[in-house]
Amino acid sequence: MALPSSPSFNLQGKRALVAGASSGIGAACAVALSRAGAHVVLAARRQSQLDELVKEIRQEGFAAEALVMDVAQVASMQILVEQNGPFDVLVNSAGLARHSTALETQEEDFNAVMDINVKGAYFLTQAVAKGLIAAKKAGSLINISSQMAHIGGQDRAVYCASKHAVEGFTKAMAIEWGQHNIRVNTVCPTFILTDLTAATFADPQKRAWIESKIKLGRVGAVQDIMGAVVYLATEASAMVTGSAMKVDGGWTAG
């Protein structure tokens, strides 16, 4: 029998936009996509951090450039995507969390989280899709969601609401844009050790509780997200759309 050919994990010749790329998960995704061969455009609000990361990626011999962009400023963001696209791959890692009990939620915090996690993510995904459809190109659009998009979390009502919304519009967009060969998926991490979460993990009780919920017995690292994003970005996942890839160490399984 003829053996089937293996799908490609190579992104050579592809152009990828990574929003929220100045640190943490977003920065790791940008590195992963560049190493897979993509020309990566790193987008965030902080110019200096973007420039430093672009410099380091280029020093490895890969292609990268910086783009100062705020996903919550929809009109200006749309213009930047149109001017710099089309993008074959989108990774939206821009996000915000402001935790409190549901009874103590402030309208200001609710609006801030929704502006970035829902409105910004929605219209960024839309903007990249518009560019692909106009250029008659296929694409892979990936929103970094959360395990909290599939469960409830203590003191996380607003954050959970925002990530549940991301899962909803991702599925709807996947249905609409499948005819254009544009795939839309999410990656749903558990607690990942980054500069932003370092304070949480520095508390022995909080870390012990988190590790007790993760069936693999350890907290996540940004490297755990990199492979998932490369998989979804490439032809290796050509039949995957409207899906949520949980990188949660088994948290939501039990």
Q: What contacts 163, CB < 8 A, 6 or more positions away?
A: 117, 145, 146, 148, 149, 188
Q: Which domains does the chain have, with CATH numbers?
A: 15-245 (3.40.50.720)
Q: Tokens in use for 81?
A: 């995507």
Pairing of strands 64-68, 89-92: unpaired
Question: pLDDT truncated to tens, each residue of the chain (254 aa)?
Answer: 899 999 999 999 999 999 999 999 999 999 999 999 999 999 999 999 999 999 999 999 999 999 999 999 999 999 999 999 999 999 999 988 898 999 999 999 999 999 999 999 999 999 999 999 999 999 999 999 999 999 998 889 999 999 999 999 999 999 999 999 999 999 999 999 888 788 888 888 989 999 999 999 999 999 999 999 999 999 999 999 999 999 999 999 98
Mention every residue, 6+ apart, whose C-beta is less than 8 A from residue 198: none
Return the active site residues.
159
pTM as predicted: 0.95
> For the chain, how far is it from start to end, CA to CA, in angstroms?
42
